[in-house]
Amino acid sequence: MDFLRPASWEEALAAKAEHPTAVPIAGGTDIMVEINFDHRRPQYLLDLNRIGLLSEWHVGEETVQLGASVPYARIMENLRTELPGLALASHTVASPQIRNRGGVGGNLGTASPAGDAHPALLAAGCQVEAESVRGSRLIPIDDFYTGVKRNALEPDELIKSIHFKKADGPQQYSKVGTRNAMVIAVCAFGIALHPETRTVRTGIGSAAPTPIRAKAAEDFLNAALEEGGFWDNGKIITPSIAKQFAELVSGAANPIDDVRGTASYRRHAVGIMARRTLGWTWESYRGNGRSTEGVA
């Protein structure tokens, strides 16, 4: 196995163009497990650890650009306000050691349906910046996951960064696991309120072949919130709206039975998480200076 160690982003892109089968290694917390268990024996490993820009983030007026290799620990420490859903999801990843090494670029590279970043990324509605020697492109997160552990990257592309709009409303993340740490999700759910566009976005993890949004549930909730004037009057969301939202989220899931849980449990659990996280985010939205009159 050849170990390629580019010293710059340009060198990394050139190496990937020359060796499209080269496997990038960032934190190594996914790829080294595969190599150690002999599940994979790439001819070339492309080490990205000398490329400083991948570990940087930039907070602009309205946007955040997150380098692909920024570890979860840095996201939790530094981007809690701008990317609250992703910061909460980062908290649930593995252990402090893994959170110090692993990052969102690696989660996207692996594209496991159980990756914890994905529901938060889908709910936030970000774009993945992929680059090759041919140029750069922004892939909407909705188009990124193409199959089980497959993504939209071309063989010569690397993930440079992830582009977000700063959160303009509350976001939440919830995960079911067999214990509180060092656990791959049985299933997970992310939600983001976007008051500026008066929309709600969702993300479901570990309950379908790829991370997915619950689009019918979003459409239903967006219409119900608009119709009831909820964004303006800040009323409590009625139990019937919350229940229907949860049922539609459950219906969007397409899980399998496996060692971590049954399909029916997962379908049930994502509904429960959807109802709870909707309640938490909406309470937070109402508490931010909106009218709290009129309990429906």
Ligand X SMILES: Cc1cc2nc3c(=O)[nH]c(=O)nc-3n(C[C@H](O)[C@H](O)[C@H](O)COP(=O)(O)OP(=O)(O)OC[C@H]3O[C@@H](n4cnc5c(N)ncnc54)[C@H](O)[C@@H]3O)c2cc1C
> Which positions lie near ligand X, rule CB under 6 A?
23-31, 33, 48, 68, 93-94, 98, 101-103, 105-107, 109-110, 115-116, 158-159, 182, 184
Take residue 69 and report the two structure tokens written for it: 């290799």
CA distance 144 to 121: 11
Closest separation in Å from C-beta 159 to ligand X:
4
**34 or 247: CB nearest ligand X:** 34
Rounded to a whole number of angstroms, the minimum distance from the CB of residue 212 to ligand X is 16
Which of 101, 275 has the CB closer to ligand X? 101
Q: C-beta of 176: minimal distance to ligand X in Å?
A: 12
Give the nearer residue to ligand X in terms of CB position, either 188 or 200: 188
- Is 51 within 8 Å of 160 (Cβ atoms)? no
Least distance (Å) between residue 1 CB and ligand X: 14
CA separation for the pair 100, 95 (Å, rounded): 9
Is the CB of 103 or the CB of 255 nearer to ligand X?
103
Sequence-distant (6+) residues with CB within 8 A of 135 are none
Q: Which is nearer to ligand X, 186 or 246 (CB)?
A: 186
Minimum Å gap between C-beta 203 and ligand X is 13
Identity (one letter) of the amino acid at 117? A
Q: Fill in the DSSP letter of residue 155.
A: T
* Residue 242 contacts residue 225 (beta carbons within 8 Å): no
DSSP character string of 91-107: HTSS-HHHHHH-BHHHH
In the complex with ligand X, which residue's Cβ is closer, 109 or 170? 109
d(CA 209, CA 255): 7
- Least distance in angstroms from the C-beta of 119 to ligand X: 10
| Encoded tokens for 247 | 């049922």
CA separation, residue 266 to residues 115, 127, 165 (Å): 15, 28, 30
In angstroms, what CA-CA distances link 200 with 38, 170, 180, 194? 42, 10, 27, 6
